[in-house]
Structures are given as C-alpha cells and as structure tokens.
Amino acid sequence: MKLNIRSFAVTSALLLGVGLFLITWWVIAFDGASSEMTLIGRIYRGYTFTPAGSFIGLIWGLADGLIGGAVFAWLYNRLAGDREPVQR
C-alpha cells in the first residue's frame, strides 16, 4: 500500500498546526498567558503561551507538519516498494 504524499503531508500539517494552536489556548485558559521561554519556543521562533503566540505556533506547526509529513510519506513509499501482500 502506498501513501499519497500530498494528502499525508496536508493531514500532518493540519494535525500539528491546529493541535499546537488548541493546546496553547488550553494552557492560556487554565494557567493564563505567559511570555516565558519554553522548549517549543526555542524550536519555533516567536512562540509563547499568548494569543499572538498561538497564531505563530499555528504557522510553524503547519509548515513543520507539511514538511515532516511529506518526508515521512515519501520515505515510507520508498521503503515499502511494490511488495505483494502475503497470501495464506
């Protein structure tokens, strides 16, 4: 079975970007906004637990998920090859 690289990349981008956006708002709702540097903020420049930071995280997550998903699907397709399913 081969993966559609474009579909997998877009799905990964949406999951990572929207997931990071929603988690940021979850933290803001329960702990309040904070502009402290976090581990994710060190990787994604400009990301903080603030409303503006949630949109920055959304953009970074979309880009990272798109690239990561495309690489993963391409690598999967290369390694899976054209193997026939095992028949019993």
Task: Give DSSP secondary structure letters for 32-67.
Answer: --B----HHHHHSTT--BSHHHHHHHHHHHHHHHHH
Other Cβ atoms closer than 10 A to 20: 24
Q: What is the dihedral of CA 24, 29, 32, 38, to 10 degrees?
A: -20
Q: Distance (Å, rounded) from C-alpha 57 to C-alpha 51?
A: 10
Q: What is the C-alpha radius of gyration for the chain, rounded to an integer number of angstroms?
A: 17
- Where is pLDDT greater, at 17 or 84? 17
* pLDDT digit string, tens, across residues 21-75: 999 999 999 888 877 778 888 888 989 899 999 999 999 999 999 999 999 999 9
Tell how many helices (H) and how many strands (E) occur in the chain.
3, 0
